Amino acid sequence: MGWVVQRHGELYWREHGYDERFEALVAGIVARFIQNFDARRERCWIAERKAKRLGAVFVVKKSVTHAQLRLLILEPAARGSGLGKRLVRECIRFARKAGYRKLVLWTQSELAAARGIYEKAGFRLVRGETHESFGKPLKGEYWELNL
C-alpha cells in the first residue's frame, strides 16, 4: 500500500505538477481502505510482472448500493498495454458480483488517458466542477456506471 501512495505522489508531481497535498489525499484514501476494509465489498488490485509493480486500482464501498473506483495508476512503461482497461474491467466485474447497483469515480479533466479508459468501459460523465487543489486550478469530473 505504501507503493500506491509513493507512486501517486511521484508520478502526479512529475507529470501534472500536483503538490504534496495530492499525496496526502491518496494516503488518506489508502489508510481508510486498510482501517475499514470489508472483504466482501471492497478490493485493491496491484498488477505486477516479473516482480515489478505496474499499476493499481481500488473499489471501495461508498454506500449500500454504490461503490467507488479509486486510485487507478499505471507506471509509464505499462501505459498503452491494455492494463488500465483490464484493471477497470476487474473493478466492474467485482462491483457487480458484490451486489452494487452503481460504480462511481472522481477524476480530473486533464487526465485524458484515464478518462478514455472510463468512457470505453461504459462510464458516463455526470458533472464537472472547477476547483483549486494540489497547488493548481483543476476541473474535477464525476463519472458513473450503472451496473
What pLDDT sits at residue 110?
Answer: 95
Query: Strand, coil or helix: what is 122?
Result: coil
Domain ranges of the chain: 39-146
Q: Which ranges of the chain does DSSP label H, i.e. alpha helix?
A: 2-16, 20-35, 83-97, 112-120
What pLDDT sits at residue 85?
Answer: 97
Q: Which residues of the chain have pLDDT under 50?
A: none
What pLDDT sits at residue 17?
Answer: 97
CA dist 124 → 4, 12, 67, 88 (Å): 26, 24, 15, 14
What pLDDT sits at residue 113?
Answer: 94
- Global pTM value: 0.95
Domain 39-146 has CATH 3.40.630.30: yes
What pLDDT sits at residue 43?
Answer: 98
What pLDDT sits at residue 76?
Answer: 97
What pLDDT sits at residue 123?
Answer: 98
Q: Could you tell me which of 23, 120, 119 has the C-alpha nearest to residue 71?
A: 23
Q: Could you tell me which of 110, 121, 97, 5 has the C-alpha nearest to residue 42?
A: 97
What pLDDT sits at residue 25?
Answer: 97
What pLDDT sits at residue 107?
Answer: 97
CA distance 76 to 29: 22
What are the tens digits of pLDDT across the range 41-56?
A: 999 999 999 999 999 9
